[in-house]
Structure 1
Amino acid sequence: MKYLNYLVLGVLFLLSGCTESEDVIQIEHPEKVAVAFFEALYNEKNIEKAASACSPALSRIIRHYRSPQAVARHIFNMSYDQVEIKPDDSGVKVREQFKNKAVITIYFDGYYQENRFKDVKRLSLIQQDNKWLIDKILKDPF
């Protein structure tokens, strides 16, 4: 009985190490991946979590800037203190998705230094190993 208790404790200890990290975005839908990326960047201020939703090449670029504020300023030309992030849900063309690629449009509505700003960004996502990753930031649609 004594050994059984140690065995159970050992198994529980090993299983506790198998949980997913909170700094990794793993979502099955491309729209949700895009929203989670920007949530991590702008609202959570977590650059590692944001980079986890990107392809290896884009992830290196994101990490190069070392802070969410620098990424927001240099890559997206958008700064927010607080922002609401939504995917395009017009119903006409929520996403242009092919077998393993998708183009997602994201709308931003937020505040920076007490001024309200709205913006739109488009992202190209690819699917690798059943996981959607942001591959490219596309030119502004407008």
Structure 2
Amino acid sequence: MKVIALLSLLFLAGCSQDSAPTRTPEQVSLGFFHAIYVERDVNKAKQFVSDPMKEVLSHYYIASAVQRHVLNLSMTEVTMEIEEIDIDFFRKFTDDVTVIVKMQGLKGGRTWIDDRTIRLHKIGSKWEIIEVLPEKGNLN
């Protein structure tokens, strides 16, 4: 009888914990860009962003509009990788990071390589994208 009670207690304790695994800033960043550029699914991209960013994504509604107006980069056939992240060994002690994602694909039918910088904030154990930083080259 004690064994059944113990197993029941362990089962209930396991159910109360968050079942989603904790994502790293790199996974969140790549997941967001993959949802917008590869899957072209704005709703899927919303799981990686903060509430204010969700409102922005909802406003533009479709992935091509998010590419144009939020990310300033319309591309197809995109592959991506993490170019740079501004955290290191002390990752556990920081709540804000900046990630640069390098993307390769087609822009206007021609091969294009570009990057985008995003800022993430840690809320509890979850990383969320809170901002797409302006491009450094566009000072017009």
Which bin holds the TM-score, normalised by the shorter protein?
0.7 to 0.9
Aligned to 1:49: 44
Distance 1:107 1:99 in 2: 23
Query: Which residue of the partner structure matches residue 35 of structure 1?
Result: 30
TM-score (normalised: structure 1): 0.73
Larger helix share, 1 or 2: 2
What is aligned with 2:76?
A: 81
Structure 1 segments of 4+ aligned residues over 6 angstroms from their partners: none
Deviation at 1:27, TM superposition (A): 4.9
| Alignment-mate amino acid for residue 101 of structure 1 | D
Q: Output aligned runs, 1:1-142, within 5 Å.
A: 27-88=22-83, 94-96=85-87, 99-142=94-137
How far is the alpha carbon of 1:112 from its aligned partner?
3.1
5+ residue gaps, structure 1, are: 1-18, 21-25
The separation in 2 between residues aligned to 1:55 and 1:81, in whole angstroms, is 25
Deviations 1:53-81 (CA, angstroms, capped at 9, x unpaired): 10000111011101000000111111112
Letter in 2 for 1:87: I
SS at structure 2 position matched to 1:86: strand
Q: Cα gap change, 1:27/1:114 in structure 2, threshold over 3 Å: closer, same or farther?
A: farther
Query: For 1:52, what is the secondary structure of its paired residue?
Result: helix
The one-character-per-residue Cα deviations of 1:54-111 (angstroms, maximum 9, x if unpaired) are 000011101110100000011111111210111115xxxx324661111101111101
Give the count of matched residue pairs. Answer: 116
Measured after TM superposition, the shift of residue 118 of structure 1 is 1.1
Residue aligned with 2:119, SS: strand
Give the deviation of 1:28 after TM superposition. Answer: 1.7
| Structure 1 residue 113 displacement after superposition | 4.2
Structure 2 unmatched runs, 5+: 1-18
Identity %: 24
